[in-house]
Each structure stands twice: as structure tokens, then as C-alpha cells.
Amino acid sequence: MGGDFGPRVTVPAALSQIDADPSVSILLVGDREQIQTYLPSGTSSKVEILHTLETVSMSDRPSHVLRHKQQSSLWLAIDQLRDGEVDACVSAGNTGALMAVGRFLLKTFPGIDRPAICKPVPTQVKNGLGQTVVGHCFLLDLGANVNCDSEQLLQFALMGSVLASTVDDKPNPRVGLLNIGEEEIKGGEQVKLAAALLKSNSDINYVGYIEGNGIFTGDADVLVCDGFAGNVALKASEGAARFMASQMERTFKSSLYGRVLGQLARPLLLEWRNQFDPGRYNGASFLGLQGTLVKSHGSADSAGFLSALTMAKEQATKQLPQHINQRFAEMANPVE
């Protein structure tokens, strides 16, 4: 029921997920009447509805949701995940409420102070032929924790490393720290302390500081920062991408010469748009919780929400939360 479009986007995306992967079944939580508006007659038995009229608005404070909205679609969906009735939960709703309810119902694993919001961002990588192609880097935290100490940044690095190794099959993913410079003297005290912790941790392939302009260069598979820096970096990059796209469109429409060039460049522009379409990278994981919980961007269309569903299915299938728990348990109880 959440996001800018509610069932108009989420229901078609759910049906597309089932069409693409027959092993998946979907439980839609929300107003049955609104949901059924977007369900065609004869819909697959793999779609079920858990009815509730109560919803969480984008303006609801997390504390208010925790106290007063236990029958909301957001709460009931996460409750289904906690009780093992579903394997993953995806929502386009209120991020703060999703984090608060997720942490309250699911809890974090032992050794993890706070969950972190993590999502892939596009980067340049080399393929097996040595060609530069578009890959991705996992960036965390993206806003769940505005202020973080060095131990929490270490925890984020460990969770991100497990994510990259589990989902991307990278046995030794490169982990960097987002900083204002590459020199050791640069950055705040907690970042410097975190760097020392990462260097001394044998479970992490630490590659050092990475500046903001290096986020997309492919120099790291996982990039760690506090939620303030991560959210600013993500929103700034999204805004820059939209600005570039709008300026190119404006240039190609500004004159007859521009329109001709635009038509000639159209195939390349479509390829560029497909590679960097935000919908391809829609979906942010709440790492550290005892369950697979994924946040879709509120403005995502059906294709974007489908990407979030696909991400959740992959992480649940590969048992990402269990792998994170195992890594922290091994650190707490090392084998002699």
C-alpha cells in the first residue's frame, strides 16, 4: 500500500515476478478491494491477500507507528516474515517506520548494534575480455544511522562483505571506506579508528579510503560510510544523473541540428539509459536484521518494484541473513 502509487505499481510487479519465476508465491498485504482492482480475473493461486484497512503514511513518525499501528499493512507484512509465513518482505512505504518496525519485530543478530541500509550502485568494471562494462558496488549505510562509531562501521563492512560474497559469488570482496581524501590523515576520528579496525581484521579485504568521485570507478565491491554521508552521496548522484539526462534531452531538442544528432545517437542513448536506469538498482536491504527486508524507492514504477522483489527473492534464496549471522558468530567464538 506504500509508495507514491500503492497497488497500482506493487500488484503488477508481483504478477510479473510470478511470471518470471514460477517458484515464487506472493502475499499482498493491504486493502483487499484496492488490491483486487489490479488483479485480473483468474489470477494465479500463487497470489494471496492479507486484508487490512490500516496503513502507514509517509508522514507518520516511527514512534507513532510502533505504538498505534500494529494492524497496518506495513506491520502485518513484517510480522508475517517474523513468524516464518514468508521468506522475504518488500515495501515501498515509510522508510523510518519500516526500519523501526523491522528492528522491533525481527531484531538484529548478536554482535550487530544497528541494521544498515544497503543498495547496489553502478560502477565501471572489467569483464573477462578486459573490456570496461557496467557493474555495481554495494554502498552502506544509506540513512539508517546518521552517526556511527568505528565499531559500527566495522560491522557494516562485515555485513557488506558477506552480502557481496553471497550474492555476487565473490570470495574476497574489496571493502573501502568513504572519506574526504585517500591520505591517512584525512577524515574524522571515527573514520580513522574504523580504518585501523578494518586493516587489522583478517575477515575483510580492506582497500583503504575512497573519495566521493571514486564511488563509481569500481575500485571497491563494498563501500562503507555513516548514514549521513551515504544518503547525501546517493541522493547527489541520483540528482546528477537526472540533471545530465534532462540536459541531453534539452540539447537534442534545442535546434534542427540537435534533433538530427539526437536521432543518430538514439540507440546509444537508449543503451546508456538502460545501463543506468535507477529502476535496475531499485531495492535497498536492511542488513543485520533476522530476516530479508527490502525497501523499494517510493517513486518506483512496476519495473523498479520488480527489481526490489527480485533482489529480495535472491537474498532469501541464498540465505543472506543466515550467512551474516554465521560470520558474526564465528568472530565471537573463533576456532582455536
Q: Is the pLDDT of residue 148 over 90?
A: yes
**Model confidence at 263, in pLDDT bands (50, 70, 90)?**
confident
For residue 149, the model assigns a pLDDT of 94
What is d(CA 149, CA 96) in angstroms, rounded to the nearest whole number?
Answer: 21
The DSSP-derived string for 160-221 is HHHHHHHHS--SS-EEEEE-S-SSTT-S-HHHHHHHHHHHH-TT-EEEEEE-GGGTTTTS-S
**Model confidence at 273, in pLDDT bands (50, 70, 90)?**
low
For residue 193, the model assigns a pLDDT of 95
Q: Do 258 and 251 touch, CB atoms closer than 8 A?
A: yes
What is d(CA 82, CA 92) in angstroms, rounded to the nearest whole number?
Answer: 19
Sheet of 88-91, strands arranged across:
88-91, 292-295, 284-287, 116-126, 132-140, 222-224, 174-178, 205-210
DSSP 38: T
For residue 277, the model assigns a pLDDT of 57
In the chain, the percentage of residues whose pLDDT exceeds 70 is 93
Residue 49 phi, psi dihedral angles, 5° rounding:
-125, 130
Residue 121 phi, psi dihedral angles, 5° rounding:
-125, 150
- Report residue 330 as a C-alpha cell: 564465528
Domain annotation for the chain: domains and CATH numbers: 1-112+288-336 (3.40.718.10)
Q: Do 182 and 153 touch, CB atoms closer than 8 A?
A: no
Residue 48 phi, psi dihedral angles, 5° rounding:
-120, 160
**Model confidence at 76, in pLDDT bands (50, 70, 90)?**
very high
Average pLDDT, the chain: 89
Q: Is the pLDDT of residue 260 over 70?
A: yes
**Model confidence at 335, in pLDDT bands (50, 70, 90)?**
low
Q: Is the pLDDT of residue 134 over 90?
A: no
For residue 40, the model assigns a pLDDT of 87
For residue 280, the model assigns a pLDDT of 66
Q: Is the pLDDT of residue 38 over 90?
A: yes
Quote the crossing angle between the two packed helices 320-332 and 302-317, to the nearest 10°: 50
Range of lowest pLDDT (17-21, 133-137, 266-270): 266-270
Q: Are strands 132-140 and 116-126 parallel, antiparallel or unpaired?
A: antiparallel
For residue 48, the model assigns a pLDDT of 94
Condensed to tens digits (0 to 9), the pLDDT of residues 77-118 reads 999 999 999 999 999 999 999 999 999 999 999 999 999 999
Residue with cell 544497503: 118
For residue 272, the model assigns a pLDDT of 58
Range of lowest pLDDT (87-101, 126-140, 233-247, 254-268): 254-268
